[in-house]
Structure 1
Amino acid sequence: MKVWLIQNYMTFYYLILAMCLIGLNYSLKRIKYDERRRSRNFITKIKINNRFKFIEKMKNDEYDEIFEEVGIHRYLKSEWYNGIRLGVYVIAIVSVSLNILLNVEILTYSQAFLLFMLGFMMIPKKPYPAYHLFNLVQKSYNTKKNAEVYQLYNDIKAEYMIKGDKVGNMYHLIMRLLPYYENIKLSLEKILPYLQRQDSNTAWELFAKQINTKEAESLSIVLRDIEKISIEESILVLESKHEEFANNLYNAYKEYLSRRRWAIYGILIVGALSVFKYEWTVFFLWYKDIMNVVNNIS
């Protein structure tokens, strides 16, 4: 055995050397793989951080408040809105740049200018056109909120009249009624912690501030002290506000019909102008062709 080992020691030497080289190669590959993975993770982390920084720059708390006031905060965020505006600016600038540098016309100068101006017109603040558009949307949204405020008033009054002393406190009453509302649901959810602590003044002040309408303010004044008086007195106080809420609801509906009427008039006027303009365009082209024929004959 000893003689055989001496005769084949070179084979063992090369075998051990090969195993060491294989192990070293595997270790080097593993180190490079880990380095590449760390590098990729680092690059990915940088990209994610840059993306978040870009989104933070696009975010505008004032715009978000406006979107919440007009009831579109669930569908539109300031990051998306400013991203759209930025895209409009980029398309207009790139179009003009290509036209100047490469003589490639994607949009005419007038179209690019109008597109660029659209980005400014989309600013939802005075004196830009988007402000007036959002103002119309807010009026429509306030009408919906006031309808639910009136429904809340009726529901609370019905609970007091039907259940009497068994109506429970305002926290549990609002909890039961909460699923039946959509436009004022978020505002009611925000006041629940205060109602649970029996801080009705803060709760209904917050409710009036959140809804931000005359009807909500009027209801909040009634409900602040309703738990501090007897059931009979509460019913009398609620009944005394019935005519006021009914009149407010009626006036809001009249205003809604007026806005809808003016909107229909506007659509009709725009349509009539379009048809009138089209007729004048046809007449102008016909007149131009006649004059060309006359000039050729002359």
Structure 2
Amino acid sequence: MTANKGLVATAGTELDRLAELYGGALTYEAAVAGGIPIIRTINEGLAPDRIRRVSGILNGTSNYILTAIDQEGLSFDAALKEAQAKGFAEANPIKDVIGIDAAYKLIILTKLIFHRTLSLAQLAPTGIDHLSPRLFAAAKEWGLKIKLLASTWESRGQLNYQVAPVALNPSHPLYQVDGVTNAVVIDSDLVGTSTYLGPGAGGKATANSVLADLASLSRGEQLTGSSACLRIENGRPLTKQRYLVVNPTGLPTGLQFSDRHATSALTPALTPTDLQRLRATNPGLETLALGE
């Protein structure tokens, strides 16, 4: 039993092997999403179902910073200092702001649901530390909110995964999740879309998850996932996607926009190749995936 997300993400397979060898069980409810019983929900509540996609706000520090920038108009550095002053961010918050903490949690969920082991290098997370004030201003102008999303999903028998900031539309189930709150959205065949939210950290929330694991172990329960093993894809969306784009010199050239302002626009659906060409022909262009 552990709450150490890094340990489970990087050595979980070996720990599983040792647990099986010695007749034990590896439990780690407190390692993902703090007080949200997401591991138990997947293992028990959704055990008969087939999960197709999981997407979540899994890092409270990053979410607090993004909320402070959006609602208080703070700079990234000022928002980070405020998070540290309130005890929401550690003295060295590097793993939170560059996406490693969220990536560890997504690695755990991917193994649990899809029975595939990912490395941090494969996942290649993108954090929030590189986002410019122009992107935040444009998102606010469009009524969007920037969130650090960790997602893993099945598409045509292949596994996709991504940890990156996304601009969310107000209709998105995670749009209203602010501050240090964590939230997870699961899409499955039988239940459809279900959303779970709660405190992502804190002594009481973590203790509750640890005690829940102890209770399960005392009952002799063995917790395992039930979904199929999938081939691993490249970790980026296979289908076209819309983007929020910002260019300090005006609208980017090479596209027809139905939604646009002076220096920002919402693109039509683009393939990764389309986006690469757009960046190549528009120096200074900044982009952010649109989560609708």
Superposition TM-score, scaled by structure 1 size? 0.20
As a proportion of its length, which structure holds more strand? 2
Q: Point out the structure with max Rg over C-alpha.
A: 1
Which structure is richer in relative contact order (CA contacts within 8 A, separation 6 or more)?
2
As a proportion of its length, which structure holds more helix? 1
